[in-house]
Every structure is written in structure tokens, then in C-alpha cells.
Amino acid sequence: MIPVAALLTLVILAPEATPPAGALAPVEASRILDEALRGESIRILAELTDGVGPRLAGSPGADAAVRWAVDWFRARGITVRVDPVMVTHWVRGEERAEVVASKGRRSQPLAVTALGMSAPTPPGGMTAEVVEVRSLEELAALGAKVKGRIVLFQHDMKDASGYGKFAGLRLRGPAAAARQGAAAALVRSLSSATLRTPHTGATLIPEGVKAIPAAALSVEDAELLHRLLARGPVTVRLVLGGRLADPPLAPSANVVAEIRGSEKPEEVVVIGAHLDSWDLGTGAIDDGAGVAMVLDTMRIAASMPRPPRRTLRAVLFMNEENGAEGAVAYHETSLAAGTRHVAAIEADAGAGRPTGVEVTSGEGGLEAVRAMAAPLAALGASDVKAGGGGVDISPLAYAGVPLLSLAQDNSHYFDWHHSAADTFDKVDPRALAEAAAAFAWMAWALADSPVPLPPAPIPSTPPWWKRAAP
């Protein structure tokens, strides 16, 4: 591994990359980057994915992850606490589906996996005709015609850029179909690669809507149904056992660790990732990588000759995937405590190499973050853009907290996202170490900068956790 100090010397001598005089010591940047590039992050990730494994909120795996994280911090002498939070407790069950045989066509199995919040089918399954739609508008236009049918949400996501475009079909489609009397929903997997692999994910079931059975379908099977529908009616048999547990909420926790600031300990920089994962894989890229980056950042910060000026607070949020109760609970707890957050940065974009930093803050914030990020030029990660944030830190926006996120190469992220293929082997140790390095440096810079970032304007939309969905 090349010590980054040599590269940094070039960067920090370049006039355009020089941080404000005396603001952040270059020697600290090189120390932090070098320490992260030693690659402890991949060892942390292996402990979490190989040792703990899948950790869907409410499951024994999630409980084990909380214990593991607490032990990890304690073993390194870092102050840690658990903040209890009640989380959605949804449990997966049996899941299978098939195209029912018809004249000239044999029955065929379909690769499915239940989506979060799916209701179970009746014992033994259900059988209904399939109606295909490509948008929520198309579904709405069908009105009562979908009554008793299985709605197939079709799309043509090809790469990472398609996720934002089509995720609404998975998030809001099942509830919308339920409202129109549909018997079940099948959503084509939101993925950029497929080997007959279904990708699960959250669905939003607003108050007053009764969830219906809802499953992700592999891309191959979505295309099969599309071809068959072009030739005539198609009936599918669906068996889904997944359901909300009884009771539907389970006790869990956010894990909160702190390195107290030396000059302004009451000013807090949050560095966040989510400890839960979907249950199909081991959550290596979503969000084991983020957890590894946050933990390695704390390890490195704790190893520095002095603490940062402000308090560095690691928050491992619980249940980002299927309810985001950890995010809301942290926000409400810190509101009640009168916590002064000066910035929050989230790591939930996989394990790809870092490409830059995203920030949402007040006027002048972009320039200030550019100055902070200058040492990341050594990693090709000093590109600073507007638009930082993430699900878990998003409630802090309503307190005007500047929100940041690390931008990373996501070209393969959706090949694995929310599927059984989200496993340790997908992570390149060097790319993860570089991401951890960029994250650690930004965390330190935010906590140690003499001047905090300008507060962000309060969002004009109502808080998402108080809005009815869809």
C-alpha cells in the first residue's frame, strides 16, 4: 500500500487545494488517510458479515449486531451506549410462485421473494390472473379492473440511474394496488444485473390500508410474464408466508458511540450508517460497508494524539431498511436533549471507491466542504457537489443540520442490493479502505474545523415520518 502522505504533499502545496490557513493540519489528514488505507475496514466488515450475518430489524441477527457493535467499541475504550427503539418486526416465511399451466403451456416456477410488510397469502397460497402496469398512473387508470388480480409492476431499470426512477413502484405500488382491491402485487426486481435473482426492499403501507401479499420477481420472470401476457391471459399461483409479527413492533436499539470534543464538546458531528440489513444476503454493501467505515473512523479518531475540537458521535441506526424507526428515534431523542448538531454525514452507498462528497447546507457550505475535502484529491475523491444526505440523517434536516454523504462508485451496487448476493466477497478491500479513508477524514475535518458549516435551510416539505404514504 502506498503511504498517502507522499501524494498529499503535492495536493496540499497546490494553491487551489490549500485549506484556509491554520484551519486543518495537513499532517492530520495524511495520518488519518494512511491509517484507514491500512485496511482495518475489511476486517471489521468480515466480523459483521461472516460472524453476525443477516440482521433484519427485530431478528436475532439484529440483536447480535447490536451486541457486537457495543463490544467492538468497548474493546477499544470508546464510550458507547444503546438507545432503545421499537422497530417494525416483519418475518419472512415460505415463498414460491408459479405460472399456472394453460392450453399449450406448461406450469413454470417463478423466482420470488416477499417484500417488506407483505401480508401472507392464505395457507396453501392464492391463484389469480395477472395485470401488468408500468406506472402508478397506469395502475390508477385501471380502477376497479385490478380487483382480485395480481398486479405486476413492470419496468426497464438497466443501471444504478434507474433505481430512483422506478423505486416508487416497489415502495408505493403494493399499497396502491391494495387500495384498488388487488389480491397481490409482484414487482420486477430493482436490479442492474440478474441471474434469476429477486431483490427485496421496503414497501410503504399507510395507515388504513390493509397490506396484501407483495413480492419481488426476478427480472427473468418479469420478462417471462410479459412475453406470456402478450399471447393471452396468465394466471399465477403465489405462496407467501412473510408477515408482520405479533406484536408488530420489537425492542431494538441504535448504537451510539462518542469521542468527546476537546474545545466544544456540546457541538456534535454525527457519523452514521445502519446496522440492520435485509435478510437475504449478509448486508455487506448495504450497509456493512458503511458500518465498517463509521467504526474505522472512530478507531482512527480515538488513536489521534488529541481529540477533535467538537464531539464525534457514531450512530449505528436500526432498521433503515424496513421502517427507519432508528432514524426517527435518534432525531426525537436528540431534540429532547437539546443536542447541538453541527453536521451529520452518512455512509450508506456501498463499498465502491470514493469519488467525492455531497453536502446540503447553507450559503458558503459548498466552498467550505471543498476546502475540507481537498486532501481527498489524493484518492480522486475531492469532487464536492450539492445534495448530501441519507435516510437515517434526513430527520436532522428539520433542525437545519448540514447533511453530508460520501459519493462512491455505484456501478455494481444494484447488481447485489437487497438480494442474496449482497455478501462479503463483493467488497474490494482497497476500494473500501479508500472509502473509509475519505469518510474518516471528512468526519475529522467536520469535527475539528474552527468554523462549523452554515446551517441548511429547513425543508419546505413536511417530515416524511409524519406524512401519510403513498
Q: Which is nearer to a copy of itself, 125 or 272 (CB)?
A: 125
- Closest to a copy of itself by CB, 14 vs 101, is 101
Number of residues binding to a copy of itself, judged by CB under 8 A:
37
- To a copy of itself, the closest distance from the beta carbon of 384 in angstroms equals 34
Span from 51-59, 201-209, 303-311, 314-322 in contact with a copy of itself (CB under 8 A): 51-59
Of the candidates 249, 223, 225, 253, the residue with the CA atom closest to the CA atom of residue 317: 253
Among 104, 124, 305, 338, binds a copy of itself (CB under 8 A): 104
Residue placing its CB nearer to a copy of itself in the complex, 73 or 439: 73
Return the number of the residue (61 or 213) whose C-beta is nearest a copy of itself: 61
Cβ neighbours of residue 173 under 8 Å, at least 6 residues apart?
Answer: 136, 139, 151, 153, 185, 187, 203, 214
Rg (CA), the chain: 23
* 3-state SS, residue 42: helix
Residues 139-168 touching a copy of itself, rule: CB under 8 A, are none
Unique residue bearing C-alpha cell 474493546: 75
Asked whether the CA dihedral 392, 398, 401, 404 is positive or negative, the reply is positive
Asked if 64 is part of the footprint of a copy of itself (rule: CB under 8 A), the reply reads yes
Shortest spacing between CB 58 and a copy of itself, in angstroms: 15
> Does residue 233 have a cis peptide bond before it, meaning omega lies within 30 degrees of 0?
no
Q: How far apart are CA 74 and CA 68, in angstroms?
A: 10
Binding mask 279-318 for a copy of itself (x = CB under 8 A): --xx------------------------------------
Residue carrying C-alpha cell 438480494: 419
Rounded to 5 degrees, φ, ψ at 25 are: -75, 120
Shortest Cβ 165–a copy of itself spacing (Å): 21
Q: Binders of a copy of itself among 413-452, rule CB under 8 A?
A: 415-416, 419-421, 423-425
Please give the residues from 184 up to 243 whose contact with a copy of itself meets the rule CB under 8 A.
193-197, 219-220, 223-224, 227-228
Q: Indicate whether 334 belongs to the interface with a copy of itself (CB under 8 A).
A: no
Task: Let me know if 320 is a catalytic residue.
Answer: yes
- The distance of closest approach from Cβ of residue 421 to a copy of itself in the complex, given in angstroms and rounded to an integer, is 4
- The answer to whether 454 touches 364, Cβ cutoff 8 Å, is yes
**CA pair distance 358, 428, nearest whole angstrom:** 23
- The contact pattern for a copy of itself, residues 357-396, with x = CB under 8 A and - = no contact, is ----------------------------------------
Measured CA to CA, the distance from residue 104 to residue 291 in angstroms comes to: 52
CA atoms of 374 and 370, how far apart (whole Å): 6
Q: Cβ of residue 223: shortest distance to a copy of itself, in angstroms?
A: 5
Query: Is the omega angle on the peptide bond into residue 247 within 30 degrees of 0, that is, cis?
Result: yes
Residue 411 cell numbers, joined:
456501478
Taking the complex as a whole, the smallest distance from the CB of residue 197 to a copy of itself amounts, in Å, to: 4
As a whole number of angstroms, the distance between CA 326 and CA 319 comes to 6
CA distance 27 to 263: 20
Q: Is the separation of the CB atoms in 114 and 95 below 8 Å? A: yes
Q: Distance between CA 274 and CA 1 in Å, rounded? A: 29
The answer to whether 36 contacts a copy of itself (rule: CB under 8 A) is no
Query: Residues 98, 132, 258, 320: which is the catalytic one?
Result: 320
Residues within the interface to a copy of itself (CB under 8 A):
46, 50-54, 60-61, 64, 104-109, 111, 193-197, 219-220, 223-224, 227-228, 281-282, 415-416, 419-421, 423-425
Catalytic residues: 320
